[in-house]
Structure 1
């Protein structure tokens, strides 16, 4: 069943897609531009519900016809863009980045990429998310999930019967609207309370159920209400008179402009704030009048044209921006030339895909079976085949064949064969000279774990053993105050077990070697007190137990962008200038920690004993990068190499430690 065409909706789509693209080019230009996606959600709920509702009440609804229209409309251009992006990503991304990309691509075949990105990023505004070429497809997954649930819900509500006074009655339209409204309110409420619950917080931005369902259902409610207006002349409804439609659509437009200009990533989103653009869009959709000012503006030919190609524009823009940054090795597209090239490329590709893929496939009159196989099953099988073949033997890394082995060794945090037990409770996590009783204990987060190979070498060299108990901070921080701040309820049981195990190990040890990533505590106003109060208290607690405490310095941190550049140049065997790799961001926090614990514990920096040439070339050591998965974690391969250089120079320190450790009871 076809809807009467409204050009103003295409104009509204144009506003939405332009805001998103502008935000992604430079978020300082339009702080709330990401809200364009929310405008799309309301429009989608509005249009899809009108189609489904009309077909159900006229007994014309068919799941097969509905999903064929969705397949024809969405999937051909979607998979075309995904496959084009895959080729460029293969050429530009580092091998581990490309593997992550393929994992995200695989999730698109079953419309689960929103959950994938929620699980594999620190959030929509996290720096890791900005480097994922198909991150933007999360919104399409939300819509697809909604398209699966909405027909079922409407069918249930419209077909349900109940007995009253010997009569068999259906739910009336007002009751159905009330039920949809209640579900929408619950969705917004879940988004609003999400910071209090780690699971909700993690999935808040990307999930259908936290806020997004509310936006789509507001569109659905307006769509059903609009059907009444479509069935009866607007002239019979004074609210749809020329004056009132102007007033309400102008209010709606002001709400959108306010949202784009003033709601930013500083606010919890989605949340109660989401109601502003959601209701603003709903007002524009509901109070339609062909002669109103807002309708005329949104019906302008340039806006309508952009709205028609908005789906292609949305699909192309983000991969182009991300991969252009990767190609140019810049964090921000700072010149007019960059913006112009990206915008022009995006427009050209969108126009081509609209006319040669999107439009012809949408008009496809062939069978459902044809659409399902050609537009969904075959592209999905191709993607899954590429993913599983590459996962098995990394066959697509062939262009880096000569350098890939050394690359992998540098990118490896801890060798799985070494069994360092990070994030694992295991009594066999003992290293160094394992013939000795393990009375030295290394504790902390992943920034402690990366010292494990160094301590393993030290133990072998000076004849002592080290027990290692480290855990990622997001699972369970060692410092009590930090655990209280994080309050990660989803890891509560795991954390309780970890702390019990840790306390038993502390009781048995003579020497405690401790470190963590203090830099992000130091520069965060909410957590800085942990360094100034909790850390000294924790060391006092250990001292009272008669423990010798050694605090290891945080290693120099790298500029993340330079880190990526190094690995790309390394793989293509090209010389790279490493002088700008160190960020020096950790220096203040290291000095701060030294000053607050210097009378309570030994403060030790193993890297201080590197020779002058090694210090000068750091973070490059023996022509290899010493860092692994990111800009603040050492890799095991290079750590063992520099450990063998510095350990002979640290004889006095480690022999003293070994004597204490091996002292008989």
Structure 2
């Protein structure tokens, strides 16, 4: 197979945006498409090699797998080995457990499956996973485990049948990707069935070039190769700069960069403008070390984010980008290249080394997972603080009521989510707490207030199920949470009038952003006619980072926790909706709005921290069990609590409930 410098340059064009995207630079908001570019390049190169060897009569399935092992495993295992001491020193137990699980999954080329079950690639939590990026390696290796076997089988029926079959599979994969990106986005993002089309279009490009020369015709006097390669390059650049985390992937949108790659593969030569640019020494050099650069950048960023309580500075991230390139060069020169040479390292040495490394990482990972992240290794602070159970959501599996069917797969959808009661359970005065996780966060609050004010409160809360009587939803309608939400709302519609008062909580900002806030206003109006009192809970302060995690890290590293350093861009929408709901409450004496200042204060002064300097917030969005309890104790000292008690005292219990 003829060496093409521009393909190495194309690799550079893939890895650089990915690295800047993971570093958080907004100019590369679509940098994640670099992985899609890699998939197409990989499909083209591997298929070209197989076709050349098949044509020469030298293709061997054993040689193929050996070549993949030499290419992928040495640098991968070395990177994982270097990660171990930093993980041991810097990761909290829950993070160490997650890292341990990823060691097992990476060793079995199943990390994409693990992250499918446990991660949203675009979430803040994903930035803290040192081995998150290995999902793409897993997709490729799963593909190449099957692809050569499929080719061997397909060749028996002829090349035309084989190409047709590959094209049909690619189309089905693309259709599944488009459908899944909207219905099951995490599945579509991480798993092979919805990613195969990207590798396959590269493979089909290889089949085409193997049988045909590049087209040298012209359009309007411009050679087709020149025109097509420029278009391909611009498509990739457009995707890198204009796509963002909200772009469904790998949907039809991803045809933009992948078709761009195919155009460059098919039409670029060393003589075209784009070919000369991609074939420059700098880009070719980066392309040659692109695999190692891809391996190293994510662990460097992730561990930096773990070790720094707050988001690392841009200067540090730029330094880490440079370090990634340096480590990549050293890895390429001293690990990748020696292992590729068959003279120095024999086949059986490669396979035995791979087996031993896999056994080591699987063993270490299983121990870490089973031991819950080696909590005994954290002897710098007490285990009691690090496993502070009240920095959590009040779910049904930890003694509260939040029926989180989205995160607890063992929970059945149905009336089991309608039975949890808080407060004074024997009181004749009965209330109903209804809503999504933003209502559930107040369960410890209402348990305390309910006991103090002698009222019983049934809590019906489910993921994304904001107060409404419609079938609208702010989560995925394909989720189990949606099915549970329909149960919850049917109960609300049928039995609301059996309660003396109702409490509504919700992610008001998100509901408003999805243009569904009118459902909430209609629900409030309906509730005013069905019950004697409607209570609306304010959204707490919203942060851009996981506040609870940052607090734990500050305790672990014995550093001062400063919540003012945490960005609050997402708080803007919450503030606006809190104002609107407060204004609504002023128009009706049967509506009581409980504002932030009545919940989160120290000696009457608004605060995001308790008197003990512990944040109310759990994950930057919800308050924790601890925060909810502290909010109750603060609320008891306010005039709003006196107003609440007065309104409760005027209620006439509904007869025959």
TM-score using structure 2 length: 0.85
CA distance in 1, matches of 2:442, 2:55: 67
Match status 1:207 vs 2:191: yes
CA distance in 2, matches of 1:203, 1:75: 26
- Deviation of 1:219 after TM superposition, in Å, equals 0.9
The residue that corresponds to 1:550 in the other structure is 535
The residue that corresponds to 1:323 in the other structure is 303
2:363 to 367, 375, 381: 381
- Deviation of 1:126 after TM superposition, in Å, equals 3.5
- Contact 1:26 / 1:333 at 8 angstroms: preserved in 2? no
Is the partner of 1:139 in helix, strand or coil? helix
- From the superposition, tell whether residues 61 and 421 of structure 1 become closer, same or farther in structure 2 (CA, over 3 Å): same
Deviations 1:20-49 (A, max 9, x none): 223434533344433322221111101222
- Contact 2:539 / 2:578 at 8 angstroms: preserved in 1? yes
- Contact 1:245 / 1:288 at 8 angstroms: preserved in 2? yes
CA distance in 2, matches of 1:279, 1:559: 35
- Contact 1:464 / 1:662 at 8 angstroms: preserved in 2? no
- Deviation of 1:217 after TM superposition, in Å, equals 0.6
The residue that corresponds to 1:353 in the other structure is 331
> Where do residues 122-137 of structure 1 align in structure 2 (5 Å cutoff)?
122=120, 124-137=121-134
- From the superposition, tell whether residues 372 and 59 of structure 1 become closer, same or farther in structure 2 (CA, over 3 Å): farther
- Deviation of 1:62 after TM superposition, in Å, equals 4.6
Is the partner of 2:294 in helix, strand or coil? helix
Q: Any unmatched runs of 5+ in structure 2?
A: 405-410
Deviations 1:120-161 (A, max 9, x none): 444x443333343333222222212211231233233223xx
> Where do residues 141-540 of structure 1 align in structure 2 (5 Å cutoff)?
141-159=138-156, 170=157, 172-194=158-180, 197-199=182-184, 201-210=185-194, 212-228=195-211, 245-246=225-226, 248-265=228-245, 267-287=247-267, 289=269, 294-329=274-309, 331=311, 333-335=313-315, 338-363=316-341, 364-367=345-348, 369-391=351-373, 394-401=375-382, 404-405=385-386, 407-411=388-392, 413-414=394-395, 416-423=397-404, 425-426=416-417, 428-437=419-428, 439-473=430-464, 476-481=465-470, 483=472, 486=475, 488-491=477-480, 492-522=482-512, 524=513, 526-527=514-515, 530-531=516-517, 533-540=518-525
Is the partner of 2:250 in helix, strand or coil? coil
Deviations 1:341-397 (A, max 9, x none): 223311221122222322223333231641441343333333333332335x63343
- Deviation of 1:287 after TM superposition, in Å, equals 4.1
Is the partner of 1:390 in helix, strand or coil? coil
TM-score using structure 1 length: 0.84
CA distance in 2, matches of 1:263, 1:651: 51
How many equivalent residue pairs? 632
- Deviation of 1:339 after TM superposition, in Å, equals 4.9
CA distance in 2, matches of 1:480, 1:112: 42
The residue that corresponds to 1:13 in the other structure is 11
> Where do residues 46-61 of structure 1 align in structure 2 (5 Å cutoff)?
46-54=44-52, 61=59
The residue that corresponds to 2:78 in the other structure is 80
CA distance in 1, matches of 2:216, 2:454: 90
- Contact 2:544 / 2:567 at 8 angstroms: preserved in 1? yes
- Deviation of 1:313 after TM superposition, in Å, equals 0.5
- Deviation of 1:12 after TM superposition, in Å, equals 2.1
- Contact 1:26 / 1:332 at 8 angstroms: preserved in 2? no
- From the superposition, tell whether residues 238 and 540 of structure 1 become closer, same or farther in structure 2 (CA, over 3 Å): closer
Is the partner of 1:204 in helix, strand or coil? helix
- From the superposition, tell whether residues 637 and 246 of structure 1 become closer, same or farther in structure 2 (CA, over 3 Å): closer
Is the partner of 2:371 in helix, strand or coil? helix
CA distance in 2, matches of 1:463, 1:497: 28
CA distance in 2, matches of 1:552, 1:488: 25
CA distance in 1, matches of 2:478, 2:9: 45
- Contact 1:446 / 1:516 at 8 angstroms: preserved in 2? yes
Question: What is the RMSD of the two structures over their aligned residues, measured on CA atoms?
Answer: 3.5
- From the superposition, tell whether residues 418 and 253 of structure 1 become closer, same or farther in structure 2 (CA, over 3 Å): closer
CA distance in 1, matches of 2:533, 2:87: 51
- From the superposition, tell whether residues 441 and 255 of structure 1 become closer, same or farther in structure 2 (CA, over 3 Å): closer
CA distance in 2, matches of 1:507, 1:615: 36
- Deviation of 1:328 after TM superposition, in Å, equals 4.4
- From the superposition, tell whether residues 70 and 401 of structure 1 become closer, same or farther in structure 2 (CA, over 3 Å): farther
- Deviation of 1:657 after TM superposition, in Å, equals 1.9
- Contact 1:413 / 1:633 at 8 angstroms: preserved in 2? no
Q: Any unmatched runs of 5+ in structure 1?
A: 160-169
- Deviation of 1:89 after TM superposition, in Å, equals 4.1
Deviations 1:574-599 (A, max 9, x none): 33344556946433211111223433
The residue that corresponds to 1:164 in the other structure is none
2:554 to 566, 569, 574: 569
- Deviation of 1:289 after TM superposition, in Å, equals 4.8
The residue that corresponds to 1:625 in the other structure is 614
- Deviation of 1:85 after TM superposition, in Å, equals 3.1
- From the superposition, tell whether residues 561 and 239 of structure 1 become closer, same or farther in structure 2 (CA, over 3 Å): same
Deviations 1:156-177 (A, max 9, x none): 3223xxxxxxxxxx3x322322
- Deviation of 1:81 after TM superposition, in Å, equals 1.6
CA distance in 2, matches of 1:388, 1:414: 23
- Contact 2:548 / 2:617 at 8 angstroms: preserved in 1? no
- From the superposition, tell whether residues 629 and 72 of structure 1 become closer, same or farther in structure 2 (CA, over 3 Å): farther
- Contact 1:559 / 1:580 at 8 angstroms: preserved in 2? no
CA distance in 1, matches of 2:358, 2:301: 26
The residue that corresponds to 1:165 in the other structure is none
Is the partner of 1:404 in helix, strand or coil? helix
